[in-house]
Amino acid sequence: MRSAVAPGYVLRADDLAGRVRPARMTGDLSTNHLAAFGVADPRLVDPHMQAVVEHACEEARKAGYADGHAAGFEDGRREGLELLEAQKEALLELDAQERGARQERLVELLGALEIAVAAALDYQAPRVDEMRDLISGMAVDIAEELVGHHLEVADCAAKDAVLRALGCIPRNVRVSLRMNPADVALVTEFTDGLTDWQVTRLLPDPAIARGDATAEADNLEVEASITGGLERVRAVLNP
């Protein structure tokens, strides 16, 4: 509330009773820093005003401390992020260098391996060819021995010859068979029991080897020759 007293009017206690708080001197002016020469400070006569000023100073100090703390924290955070980013870039660069070195080493090792394999193949190629020819020849020889033994076992070779020859003839047709005279007697009863083909004639032919047979039907002739088959195998293995 503002006083209604006119300017220049001397204030008396009776005029402003209860509206104005009397000023009190509570300090020594000779030691008070607010009582500098030629300076009139209202806090010299009003301790309440001094408390208000001191409170304001304390609040300002706290605000300044908080602002300084926030600014320092932000600076520290920024510096930390910059340092972290620099370390990250350094690690990525180091990893890239290590990867490049490993890749170069791998290329070198693969190149050396290819050279070694090529050299080994060049060295072993003639021997591999020799071994292949030897094994192929042995396989054919073994097959011949097995077939020869098979031909000596009763009538099984003759029956096999009949089935090999008939296997290339359509079913349910009339067929003539020519075989070695020694085999004809062994398969007469066997051919009579066949149901898929009608063997009408069984002709002995001395020109046909034991274990072979020739079937004729409807302008079709099939030669089931073991010897011829082995010769064809030899021709394929040894061109």
pLDDT of residue 150: 46
The last residue of one of the domains, among 134, 152, 170, is: 152
Q: Looking at the domain assignment, is residue 28 inside a domain? A: no
pLDDT exceeds 70 at position 198: yes
pLDDT exceeds 80 at position 173: yes
Domain match, 214 and 141 both: no
Domain match, 162 and 96 both: no
pLDDT exceeds 60 at position 185: yes
Q: What value does the mean pLDDT take over residues 187-202? A: 82
Check: pTM over 0.75? Answer yes or no: no
pLDDT exceeds 80 at position 39: no
Q: Looking at the domain assignment, is residue 13 inside a domain? A: no
Confidence bin at 151 (pLDDT 50/70/90): very low
Tens-place pLDDT, residues 44-77:
555 566 676 677 777 877 777 777 777 777 878 8
pLDDT of residue 158: 79
Q: Looking at the domain assignment, is residue 167 inside a domain? A: yes
For the domain that residue 213 is a member of, what is the CATH number?
3.30.2320.30
Quote the number of domains for the chain: 2
The last residue of one of the domains, among 152, 185, 216, is: 152
Domain match, 82 and 69 both: yes
The last residue of one of the domains, among 124, 152, 180, is: 152
Quote the domain boundaries for residue 157: 153-237
Q: Which two tokens stand for residue 193?
A: 């029991």
Q: Looking at the domain assignment, is residue 33 inside a domain? A: no
pLDDT of residue 5: 44
Averaged pLDDT score across all residues of the chain: 70
